[in-house]
Amino acid sequence: MSVRRGADPGTEGIRSARDDVGPIPRKNVGPVAWFDIRKRGLGQFAFSLNRLTGLGLVFYLYLHLAVLSTLFRGQEAWDDFLGIATTKAFLLLDVLLVFGLLAHGLNGLRLALIGSGRGIDHQKALYRSCQVIGTILLLGAALHILGGD
């Protein structure tokens, strides 16, 4: 079997030896593939959640800076904001934030370990541990944030 050599994926991308090949089937449209966990393994779920929470947290970073800008306007403006921020609905969003932080942070720790070649054969167990630890911490945080004590 002869195989054409010499293409550099770094610059040329996917190519074919023939000019008349057909379409390139994709399982999803573009980045939807990053979040499609149907019939996929635990690692895909971890990757998808990590990406989703990462993007969510970047959005939150700027939302947070925008909200904190209220402080520029002084005490009254901030107290008005606190009136909204201490409602149950808003505090639920804080719990969602904690979920995002835990999901991204704990899995990130797992990725730092396996990405540097440690615990590679136990990546599923590591993720299950992250899920257990994260759930416990999330429950504790939620009880505190929503319970008001």
Partner 1 sequence: MSAETQTTRRIRVFRYKRGDDEHRYDEFDVPVSERSTALDALRWIQLRQDPTLALRHSCFHASCGTCGVRVNGREGLGCVTALSDVSGDTVTIEPLANLPVLNDVVSDVTPFMERFPEPHPYIRKSEFISEADTPDDVDAYGRFEDCIECGICLSACPVAATDDTYFGPAALAYAQRMLEEARGADREALLDWADSEHGAWRCHASFECTEACPSDVRPAQRIMLLRKELGNRKKEVSS
Partner 2 sequence: MAARTTDATTSAPAGRSRTWVWTAGTGVALLALVTIHMVAHHFVVERMGGLRTYEDVLDYVANPVMFVIECVFLVVVTIHSMLGLRSVLFDFGLSDRAKRLTDRGLIALGVLTVAYGFLLIGVLASRA
Q: Is 40 helix (H, G, I), strand (E, B) or coil?
A: coil
Cβ neighbours for 110, distance < 8 A, ≥ 6 positions apart:
46, 119, 123, 126, 127, 130
Count residues binding partner 2 (CB under 8 A).
44
When binding is defined by CB under 8 A, the residue of 22, 23, 25, 148 that contacts partner 2 is 148
- Examine residue 69 and tell whether it contacts partner 1 (CB under 8 A): no
C-alpha distances (whole Å) from 115 to each of 65, 87, 120, 121 are 31, 41, 8, 12
When binding is defined by CB under 8 A, the residue of 16, 86, 129, 135 that contacts partner 2 is 86
Smallest distance from partner 1 to CB 105, Å: 16
How many other C-beta atoms are found inside a 10 Å radius of the C-beta of residue 30?
Answer: 7
Contact flags string 94-113 toward partner 2, x per CB under 8 A? x---x--x---x--xx-xx-
Smallest distance from partner 2 to CB 8, Å: 6
When binding is defined by CB under 8 A, the residue of 40, 64, 128, 144 that contacts partner 1 is 40
Nearer to partner 2, 2 or 75 (CB): 75
In the chain, % helix, strand, coil (3-state, to 5) comes to 70, 0, 30
